[in-house]
Amino acid sequence: MNQTIFTHNPFPKVGIRPIIDGRRRGVRESLEDQTMAMAKAAAKLISDNLRYPDGTPVECVIADTTIGGRFEAAQCANKFAANNVGVSLSVTPCWCYGTETMDIAPTIPKAVWGFNGTERPGAVYLACMLAGYAQRGMPAYGIYGREVQNRDETTKIPADVAEKILRFAKAGLAVAMMKGKSYLSIGTSAMGIAGSFVDVNFMQDYLGIAPENMDECEILRRIEEGIYDKEEYKKALAWMKKNLKEGKDYNPPKIQKSRAEKDKDWEFIAKMAIIVRDMMAGNPKLKEMGFGEEAVGRNAIAGGFQGQRQWTDHWPNGDVAEVMCNTSFDWNGKKMPQILATENDSLNGICMLLMWLLTNKASMFADVRTYWSDAAVKRATGKGLPKDAKAGIIHLLNSGSCCLDAAGEMKEKGKSVFKNWWDVTQKDIDATLKATKWVPAGVEYFRGGG
Residue 59: CATH number of its domain = 3.40.50.1070
Same-domain check for residues 303 and 358 = yes
Whole-number pLDDT of residue 194? 84
The pLDDT tens digits of the residues spanning 402-427 come to 899 999 999 999 999 999 999 999 99
Among 100, 218, 267, 367, the active-site one is 367
Last residue within a domain, chosen from 143, 178, 213:
178
Q: Of 359, 291, 324, which is closest to residue 429 (Cα–Cα)?
A: 324
Same-domain check for residues 71 and 58 = yes
Same-domain check for residues 267 and 412 = yes
pLDDT at residue 43 is higher than 70:
yes
Which residues form the domain of 68?
Answer: 13-178
| CA angle 200–189–5, rounded 5-degree value | 60
Whole-number pLDDT of residue 152? 79
Whole-number pLDDT of residue 393? 94
Distance CA 291, CA 228 (A): 9
Same-domain check for residues 194 and 304 = yes
Distance CA 437, CA 144 (A): 50
The CATH code of the domain that includes 322 is: 3.40.275.10
Q: Rounded to a whole number, what is the largest CA-CA distance in the chain?
A: 92
- Other beta carbons within 10 Å of 101: 26
pLDDT band at 19 (very low <50, low <70, confident <90, very high): very high
Classify residue 300: in a domain, yes or no: yes
Provide the CA 328 distance to its chain's centre, in angstroms. Answer: 12
Q: Torsion-angle region of residue 84: left (phi > 0), alpha (psi -120 to 50) or beta?
A: left
Last residue within a domain, chosen from 178, 207, 233:
178
Same-domain check for residues 241 and 317 = yes
Please enumerate in sequence order all residues whose Cβ is within 8 A of that of 287, keeping only pairs 6 or more positions apart, or say none: 295
| Active site (annotated) includes residue 367 | yes
> Is 114 within 8 Å of 196 (Cβ atoms)?
no
| Active site (annotated) includes residue 343 | yes
Same-domain check for residues 165 and 194 = no
Classify residue 1: in a domain, yes or no: no
Same-domain check for residues 23 and 39 = yes
Please enumerate in sequence order all residues whose Cβ is within 8 A of that of 225, keeping only pairs 6 or more positions apart, or say none: none
Whole-number pLDDT of residue 400? 62
Q: What is the mean pLDDT of residues 250-274?
A: 95
Query: Which region among 94-103, 113-122, 213-222, 332-341 has the lowest average model confidence (pLDDT)?
Result: 113-122
Q: Of 332, 312, 368, which is closest to residue 186 (Cα–Cα)?
A: 312
Distance CA 377, CA 369 (A): 15
pTM of structure: 0.92
Whole-number pLDDT of residue 436? 93
Classify residue 114: in a domain, yes or no: yes
Classify residue 4: in a domain, yes or no: no
pLDDT band at 282 (very low <50, low <70, confident <90, very high): very high
The pLDDT tens digits of the residues spanning 23-34 come to 888 888 878 898
Classify residue 384: in a domain, yes or no: no
* 304: three-class secondary structure by DSSP: strand
Provide the CA 329 distance to its chain's centre, in angstroms. Answer: 16
Q: What is the mean pLDDT of residues 114-140?
A: 86
Same-domain check for residues 243 and 169 = no
Q: Given 3-state DSSP classes, what are the helix, strand and coil percentages for the chain, each rounded to the nearest 5?
A: 45, 15, 40
Same-domain check for residues 288 and 139 = no
| CA angle 160–165–170, rounded 5-degree value | 130
Same-domain check for residues 339 and 226 = yes
Among 232, 265, 319, 343, the active-site one is 343
pLDDT over 90 for what percent of the chain?
Answer: 79
Classify residue 378: in a domain, yes or no: no
pLDDT band at 154 (very low <50, low <70, confident <90, very high): confident
Whole-number pLDDT of residue 22? 78
Whole-number pLDDT of residue 228? 97
Whole-number pLDDT of residue 399? 59
Same-domain check for residues 267 and 280 = yes
Last residue within a domain, chosen from 178, 193, 221:
178
pLDDT band at 300 (very low <50, low <70, confident <90, very high): very high
* 446: three-class secondary structure by DSSP: coil
Classify residue 345: in a domain, yes or no: yes
pLDDT at residue 1 is higher than 60:
no
What is the average pLDDT value for the chain, to the nearest integer? 92
Whole-number pLDDT of residue 156? 86
Domain count, the chain: 2
Same-domain check for residues 107 and 230 = no
Distance CA 83, CA 306 (A): 39
Classify residue 148: in a domain, yes or no: yes
